[in-house]
Amino acid sequence: MDIKALLEEIVRKKASDLHIKVGTSPTIRVDGELQPLDVEPPTLDEVEEACEQVLTPKQKKEFDENNEVDFAFGVPGLARFRANFYRQRGSTAMVFRLIPFDPPRIEELNLPPIVKELALKPRGLVLVTGTVGSGKTTTLAAMVREINDNQRRNIITIEDPIEFLHRDNMSLISQREVGSDTGSFGQALRYILRQDPDVILIGEIRDRETMSIALTAANTGHLVFSTLHTVDAAQAVNRIISFFPPHQHQEVRFLLASCLQAIISLRLVPRADTDGRVPAVEVLVATETVKEYLIDPKRTAMIKNLIEESVTEYGMQSFDQSLLAWYNKGVITLEDALRFASSPTALTIKAKGIETGSDVTWAPFASE
């Protein structure tokens, strides 16, 4: 089995992922859909041989001990890849994700203009949320590039593993990988404030300790970026609070209200006008009203409505407003818009042009 040839196929077909397992033809994911390649299914020996070729001795040792390993690597002249090797039914399986050599620009990702403004904030917490494969890491990479192209700041990232490689431009960027440059997210974050950062990027918030340090750093004048696995902005707020025991919930609400800048939530939707996907983006900006809602548990659930009502003045938007805009531009189908909508019934009404008393909040997303 020629691993390099298969990785070249990912790049050639503009796929996001490559799946390899014993007894099944290698399969790629293109625009969110799995497509088997016209390649013979690998045998157990071929997969094990590929494993020996790709893994370093340290990675092989970790794989043997834990039955799974995450890492990233580059193929000169081709691209970088994030990989996960794991065991299934007693054999090795592999997943490779394509990472372009150069971090993208915000404009190239079809993200709303407010994202560029949020990237250049002087301080506070900015979270990017979504399901697996929704573009969270790519969005953060674009925001770091925006800073690097426009501001002189010291940026420190903690990632597991490092995916996009950033070169110093206007900013000074240090990228630390869990497992090789530091023992864990928690260990790196305990010392990070002594490294004189202006911007801190945490690859993913997974536990209470990481969340606590992120909130503290954001409250002490740093700009902190990170990701959470939640489906929308409102659920992200509940997820943050759930990291902590009940007796700390109100304290965390005040802490979050004092430092949150924004929550950006992503869903990738197949294009109808060409190949590829576009992001449906929900944006919650921490206005004074939002902060009041964060502090008051009874009003936190009202944040969703507040997002839809704050489009013109603050640049917020809900998933359904974003989907309606893409549909009215002819970029996505109504079927896909409804499939990814938070409220399909409400979106159907808007797509049909039926007016309601709140239509003023949807005006920027309606067809011209």
What is the pLDDT, as a whole number, of residue 358? 54
Task: Give residue 354's pLDDT.
Answer: 67
Residue 317 is classified by DSSP as: B
pLDDT, averaged per 10 consecutive residues of the chain (368 residues), comes to 92 94 96 94 94 91 94 90 94 94 94 96 97 94 98 96 94 94 91 95 94 94 96 93 96 97 97 94 96 95 90 87 96 96 93 66 65
Query: What six digits make up the tokens of 147?
Result: 């800073």
Which residues in 84-105 are b (16+ Cβ under 10 Å) and which e? ebeeeeeebbbbbbbbeeebbe
pTM (global) more than 0.85: yes
Q: Where are the domains of the chain?
A: 3-99, 107-365
CATH class of 3-99: alpha beta
- At 82 the three-state DSSP class reads strand
Q: How deeply is 324 buried, as exposed, middle or buried, from its count of CB atoms within 10 A (0-12, 13-18, 19+)?
A: buried
What is the SS3 assignment for 32? coil
CA–CA separation, 103 vs 112, rounded Å? 18
Q: Give which of 261, 366, 361 is closest to 317, Cα–Cα.
A: 361
State the alpha helices, DSSP H only, in the chain: 3-12, 44-54, 57-66, 114-119, 136-150, 185-192, 208-219, 233-242, 249-259, 288-295, 297-300, 303-309, 311-314, 319-328, 334-340, 344-351
> What pLDDT was estimated at residue 368?
45
Q: Would you tell me which CATH number, out of the four given (3.40.50.300, 1.20.210.10, 3.40.50.720, 1.25.50.10), belongs to the domain 107-365?
A: 3.40.50.300
* Contact indicator for 288, 327 with CB cutoff of 8 Å: no
Q: Which residues contact 12 (CB under 8 A, 6 or more apart)?
A: none
Distance CA 137, CA 135 (A): 6
* Location of structure tokens 């239509």: 359
- pLDDT for 207 equals 93
Alpha carbons 95 and 70: distance in angstroms, whole number: 10
